[in-house]
Chain A
């Protein structure tokens, strides 16, 4: 040990957010988690802490304080410049073991990094982890089942990890109050960050980095980010999404044509068609894809299962086109068209094309 971690005594254990940065760029999900974590910590009457790992982090710890953290643990070390499972795992395990009281709650982003790291931490500490939560809260829970008598009792302050349950229009509340930290991940875009307050006061605590030889079994040769490349599903104003109702991969041509009618648009997809290989994963909207909030979301041939809904329900205007009038999507769309999308969508493209030429001419003429 080069230096001892300062122990922050919190009676109930803190709420710890694991920050995420890629090549020195703080990821928005971290600020969202701090927003959620602040709410949980205030309700528990405990501290909100945050751990950030990286190299040459500059003002990042201060930014985390400004966004809600009371304490920021900082591991700033050349070996931590890029995320690697085993090195980050080591620092995080060491930090958790050094705390006098384990955190009450530990939150990570449901990103490629968080989903890589969180399960390792949970398995190491033999504690519960709930993936892809859409809501987080704390509250009481009484466990009555006598399958395991040691678990029976009233637990005052459990993490309520709420996520959609499989294939059903149901939300499941998942609890694991028996062991701390109670862990959860949330998808980017699900939680609301606080407005940064540069005047907020917080403690910045350097933590030691003691890597072991076995942590070097995995090395990252290169991290490549293609700036400006790829589709910016999360930044589009209009998203045209296709589902199984398209019938085949070729149907996506029509989705692109409809999307081309709008400025700043992108093409999304339901999970089923991504699983079928009709379009690549990066198009997927929903619980296991991206969470989007465009101004307009046009769902074509998508039934609207809960897994899809959680990824797009915050869109401004939701338009659904589906053959089946009973499709769940009509329960939460704002505008619904019942009909064959292969008739409706080409007609939309035709009428929107007219609107376009009117805009170009700069005069308003009747569509009739």
Chain B
């Protein structure tokens, strides 16, 4: 085996959509109040990064971009066995679209240094675009493997299985490469209780925390603020509108026993026509 691998994994903190906290009465989200969580798709990327380290050796660096509380997802990554974290946090990044985000992450990755492989989640649950991974790969001039559900590395090539409609592709790529991991990959293993506890104790000490998690801003990484945030974003959300009620006249069945409710349903609809003979 040549040099140990330098493995990067990108993680993002997103609002928890399952929790009612921070949900306004009109159904909109109050991001300041919403519960925060690690983007669920990133758990697969984290598993891929830790698996790579375990199988082939190396060091895992988790990179995130977000407001200061995003340090929580880096701490979570460390509890799972990541070696160090880097958080890019800067007010000038507010309102960045995917292109501006990919620029800022590209500058961060280049600042952190050499890498062999970058893992990303397939997409985030708040943006839902799946664009940042490929846009970052383009900016870094890398090949990419998206929708990756399995891979192995040998002789400095990645052999991967990539989901496509109605099947999959087997492909292989030179290193370095950027991989977005599908949620049909292995789920994130449970963290060892003792290991996680040790990391928690360690990170409680601010001086120690700074040794493992670095927080940087645009000036530190040498990014051009005009290419970030609203200014660096070619798209804007120009308007939002309430979704019109379609149908809008739902026939409701309630307040009876299950058997009466189902009889009502079968009486009011043509469901019976679809029953297998």
Q: How does the 8 Å CB contact mask read for B250-274 relative to A, with 1 for contact and 0 for none? A: 1111110011011101101111101
A123-B99, A166-B128, A288-B128 known; A220+B274 contact, CB < 8 A: no
CA A145 to CA B146, docked complex, whole Å? 36
**Shortest Cβ distance from B142 into A: residue:** A217
* A272 nearest in chain B by CB position: B18
Residue A115 at the B interface, CB < 8 A? yes
B167 touches A225 (CB 8 A): yes
Say if the beta carbon of B203 comes within 8 Å of chain A: no
Nearest CB of chain B from residue A261's CB, rounded to whole Å: 6
Asked whether, in the complex, the Cβ of A147 is within 8 Å of the Cβ of B265, the reply is: no
> By the criterion CB–CB under 8 Å, are B237 and A352 in contact?
no
CB distance from B13 to the nearest CB of A (A): 14
Partner of B251, one of A113, A296, A334, A367: A334
Given contacts A115-B130, A129-B98, whether A344 and B258 have CB atoms under 8 Å apart is yes
From residue 61 to 95 of chain B, which have CB atoms closer than 8 A to chain A? Answer: none
Q: In the complex, which residues 317-338 of chain A have their Cβ closer than 8 Å to any Cβ of chain B?
A: 317-320, 325, 328, 330-338
Known: A166-B126, A338-B252. A82 touches B169 (CB 8 A): yes
Contact assessment for A116 and B144 in the assembled complex, using a CB-CB cutoff below 8 Å: yes
| Contact between B171 and A319, CB atoms less than 8 A apart | no
Residues of A near B131 (CB, < 8 A) are 115, 118-119, 122, 129, 131
CB-based nearest A residue for B229: A147
Q: Which of A112, A274, A360 has a CB less than 8 Å from the CB of B183?
A: A274
Q: A171-B241, A172-B240 are in contact. Are A86 and B143 (CB under 8 A)?
A: yes
Report whether A360 and B277 are in contact in the complex, using a CB–CB cutoff of 8 Å.
yes
Which stretch in A36-44, A48-56, A175-183 binds the other chain?
Answer: A175-183
Closest to A214 in B: B141
Stretch at the interface among A5-13, A247-255, A275-283: A275-283
Contacting residues, chain A, for B259 (C-beta < 8 A): 347, 351
Contact at B238–A262, with CB atoms within 8 Å?
Answer: no
> Are A332 and B247 in contact (CB-based, < 8 A)?
yes
B147 within 8 A of A: yes
Separation in Å of the B18 CB from the closest CB of chain A? 7
Most chain-B Cβ atoms within 10 A of its Cβ — which of A132, A296, A332, A343?
A332
Q: How far is the CB of A349 from chain B (nearest CB, A)?
A: 9
- How far does the alpha carbon of A307 sit from the alpha carbon of B165 in the complex, in Å? 20
Is B2 interfacial (CB 8 A cutoff)? no
Check A339/B251 contact, CB under 8 A, given A166-B126, A166-B127, A176-B236.
no
Contacts of B235 in A (CB 8 A): 128-130, 161, 174-176
Known contacts: A126-B99, A148-B231, A343-B258. The answer to whether A132 contacts B167 by CB under 8 A is: no
Asked if residues B125 and A262 are in contact (CB atoms below 8 Å), the reply is no
Q: Which residue of A lies closest to B158 (CB)?
A: A218
Q: Is A223 an interface residue (CB 8 A)?
A: yes
Which of the residues A224, A230, A288, A348 comes within 8 Å of B123, measured between beta carbons?
A288
Residues of A within 8 Å of B187, CB to CB, are 277
* A224–B169 CB distance below 8 A: yes
Q: Which of B50-58, B108-116, B132-140, B190-198 interfaces with chain A?
A: B132-140
| Chain A residue contacts of B28, Cβ below 8 A | 168, 170
Chain B: which residue is nearest A160 at the CB level?
Answer: B238
Residue pair B236, A217 in contact (C-beta under 8 Å): no
A112→B243 contact, CB < 8 A: no
Cβ contacts A to B, 16 pairs, < 8 Å? A119-B138, A123-B134, A129-B98, A129-B131, A161-B235, A166-B15, A166-B29, A170-B27, A170-B242, A175-B238, A218-B172, A261-B276, A263-B274, A330-B252, A333-B247, A338-B254
Q: Which residues of A contact B (CB under 8 A)?
A: 22, 27, 82, 84-86, 89, 111-113, 115-120, 122-124, 126-132, 141, 143, 145, 147-148, 160-161, 164-176, 178-179, 217-227, 230, 237-238, 244, 260-263, 265, 272, 274-275, 277, 280-281, 287-288, 295-296, 305-307, 309, 313, 317-320, 325, 328, 330-340, 343-344, 346-348, 351-352, 355-356, 359-360, 367
The 9 A-B pairs at the shortest CB distance, nearest first, are namely A128-B234, A128-B235, A225-B167, A338-B254, A119-B134, A123-B138, A131-B129, A176-B235, A123-B135
